[in-house]
Amino acid sequence: MKDQHRCTNCGATMTPRADGRTHGCDFCGAQQQVAIDSQQIAAGLRLDLENAEVFLFRLSHELHLSFSHCSRLEKQGDQLHLFELNLDPDLFVARREPHGMVAQHRKMVRGIALKTSTLPLDRWVAALARALAGHANENARVAQVLAQLRTE
C-alpha cells in the first residue's frame, strides 16, 4: 500500500493522522512527519475557475495567514489587488490590472528575477502546489532530522 509507513521506533504500521502530514504508531505512540506531494495540495485547493477572483481572494488570504513571513497581501474590502508569496527560489504573484487578474511565476536568485512567466490560473495553481509541496517536504525532512537528533 502506497501510504503505509513503518514506525522507525518499533516497526509497526503507522496510522495517518487527520492533518495528512503526520502518522502515528498505535503500538508505541511514536509520531512521524511524512512527505506530501503536489497532487494532494492541488486537490485540497478545490480550484473554481468559474470565479477566479473569489478563488484568488480566498487562496491569498489563507496562504497569507500561513506564510505571513514570506508573503505580501494588498486588498480593499473583498477585492484582491496584490498577492505575493516567496517560496525561494519561486515567487508567485497575483495582481489586479485594468483587464483583470494576472498570475505570474518568477524564478528568483538573490532577489533578482531570472525568468518571469505569466500563466493561466490553472497552471499557476499547479506550479504553486508543486512549490508548496517542496516547501512542506523540506520542512518535514528538517523536522525528522531534528527529531532524530533529540533521540540520540
Q: Longest Cα pair distance anywhere in the chain, in angstroms?
A: 60
The class that CATH gives domain 1-36 is: mainly beta
Q: Mind listing the pLDDT tens digit for each residue in 6-27?
A: 888 888 888 877 666 678 888 8
Distance between CA atoms of 113 and 109, rounded to whole angstroms? 7
Between 73 and 50, residue with greater pLDDT? 73
Angle of helix 121-151 relative to helix 38-45, nearest 10 degrees?
A: 130
**Confidence tier at 1 by pLDDT (50, 70, 90):** very low
Report the percentage of the chain scoring pLDDT > 90.
22
Q: CATH 2.20.70 in the chain: give the residue spans.
A: 1-36
Distance between CA atoms of 25 and 14, rounded to whole angstroms? 5
Residue 43 pLDDT: 58
State pTM to two decimals.
0.63
